[in-house]
Amino acid sequence: MTDIHDVVVVGAGPAGLALAYDLRDLDLDIQVLEAGTDIGGRTRSVQLAGAAVNTGAMFIYRGTRAETLAKELRQDTVPFHPATYGVHIDGVTSVAGSTPDVVEKLPLPQASKDALVAFMDGLEREYRENVSDGAITGKAAGLGNETVASRLEGLPGPARSVIEAAVRGGSVGDAAQLSAKYALRYLASYIAHEWENRLYPVNGMQDLPRALAANVGSRTTITTGLRVHSIRESEDVLEVTAGDGESRRVLLARHVVMAVPAPQVAGICRQLPGWKHEALKDAETPGSTTVTIAANIEGLPEFADWSFVSTVGKKFDCIINPQPGVRAADGIVRFTCYGNSAGFIPGIEGDEQQIQAWVDDFLTVAPELRGRIVGAAAATWEHCFSVLSPKRNDALPALQRSVGNIHFAGDYTSETAGSHGAYDEARRVAQVLRASLAEPWTELPAGHVATEFSNT
Ligand X SMILES: Cc1cc2nc3c(=O)[nH]c(=O)nc-3n(C[C@H](O)[C@H](O)[C@H](O)COP(=O)(O)OP(=O)(O)OC[C@H]3O[C@@H](n4cnc5c(N)ncnc54)[C@H](O)[C@@H]3O)c2cc1C
Q: Which of 421, 438, 404, 400 is nearest to 18 (CA)?
A: 421
- HSE-CB at 50 with a 13 A cutoff on CA atoms is 9
Q: Which residue is nearest to ligand X (CB)?
A: 13
Binding to ligand X by CB under 6 A, coded x per residue (else -) over 389-428, reads ---------------------xx-----xxxx-x------
Q: Which is nearer to ligand X, 93 or 288 (CB)?
A: 288
Footprint of ligand X on residues 207-236 (CB under 6 A)? 227-228
Assess 308 for contact with ligand X (CB under 6 A): no
Q: Tell me if 426 sits within 8 A of 259, measured CB to CB.
A: yes
Residue 182 touches ligand X, criterion: CB under 6 A: no
268 binds ligand X (CB under 6 A): yes
Separation between Cα atoms, residue 348 and residue 127, nearest integer Å: 36
- Please select the residue that binds ligand X; options are 6, 30, 43, 166, rule is CB under 6 A: 43
Among 31, 77, 130, 290, binds ligand X (CB under 6 A): 290
- Which of 66, 131, 211, 376 is the binder for ligand X (CB under 6 A)? 66
- The answer to whether 210 touches 40, Cβ cutoff 8 Å, is yes
**Closest approach of Cβ 450 to ligand X, in Å?**
18
Q: How far is the CB of 31 from ligand X (least distance, A)?
A: 11
Alpha carbon distances (Å) from 353 to 71, 311, 360, 387: 41, 21, 10, 30
Binder to ligand X among 195, 200, 358, 381 (CB under 6 A)?
381
The one segment of 10-18, 162-170, 342-350, 365-373 that binds ligand X by CB under 6 A: 10-18
127 touches ligand X by CB under 6 A: no
- Identify which of 35, 40, 45, 38 has the alpha carbon closest to the alpha carbon of residue 290: 45
16 near ligand X, judged by CB under 6 A: yes
Give the per-residue contact string, 143-162, with ligand X (x = CB under 6 A; - = no).
Answer: --------------------
Opening angle at CA 134, ends 181 and 320, nearest 5: 80
CA distances from 300 to 29, 286, 331, 446, 453 (A): 55, 36, 9, 72, 61
204 belongs to the binding site for ligand X (CB under 6 A)? no
Whole-number minimum distance, CB 172 to ligand X, in Å?
A: 6
Does 288 engage in binding with ligand X (CB under 6 A)? yes
Instruction: Indicate the DSSP class of residue 248.
Output: E
Which helix (H) or strand (E) segment holds residue 136: the answer is: strand 135-136
Please report whether residue 324 would count as binding ligand X according to CB under 6 A.
Answer: no
Tell me if 57 contacts ligand X by CB under 6 A.
yes
x/- mask, ligand X, residues 341-380, rule CB under 6 A, reads: ----------------------------------------
Pairing between β-strand 227-234 and β-strand 85-89 as defined by DSSP bridges: unpaired
Report d(CA 441, CA 123) in Å as an integer.
54
**Residue 44 to residue 207: CA distance in whole angstroms:** 9
**Nearest to ligand X of 63, 156 (CB atom):** 63
36 binds ligand X (CB under 6 A): yes
Tell the smallest beta-carbon distance from residue 117 to ligand X (Å): 28
Closest-CA residue to 422 (of 159, 150, 60): 60
Residue with Cβ nearer ligand X (6 or 34): 34
- Binding pattern for the stretch 231-260 against ligand X, x by CB under 6 A and - elsewhere: ----------------------------xx
Q: Which of 15, 294, 366, 430 binds ligand X (CB under 6 A)?
A: 15
Task: Give the DSSP letter of residue 70.
Answer: H
The strand order across the sheet containing 308-311 reads 92-96, 85-89, 308-311, 318-320, 332-339, 288-296, 373-381
How far is it, in rounded angstroms, from Cα 27 to Cα 30? Answer: 9
**Residue 322 sits in the site that holds ligand X (CB under 6 A):** no
In whole angstroms, what is the distance from residue 245 CA to residue 35 CA? Answer: 10
Nearest approach in angstroms of CB 425 to ligand X is: 8
CA gap 448, 344 in Å, rounded = 41
Tell me whether residue 51 or residue 300 sits nearer to ligand X (CB atom).
51
**Coil vs helix vs strand at 373:** strand
Cβ proximity to ligand X: between 244 and 330 the closer is: 244
Decide: 454 and 247 in contact? Cβ < 8 Å.
yes
One residue of 4, 8, 12, 108 binding ligand X per CB under 6 A: 12
Stretch that binds ligand X, among 38-46, 70-78, 357-365, 435-443 (CB under 6 A): 38-46
Q: Is residue 110 exposed (0-12), middle (13-18) or buried (19+ Cβ within 10 Å)?
A: exposed
**Contact footprint for ligand X (CB under 6 A):** 10-16, 33-36, 41-43, 56-59, 66, 172, 227-228, 259-261, 264, 268, 288, 290, 381, 384-385, 410-411, 417-420, 422
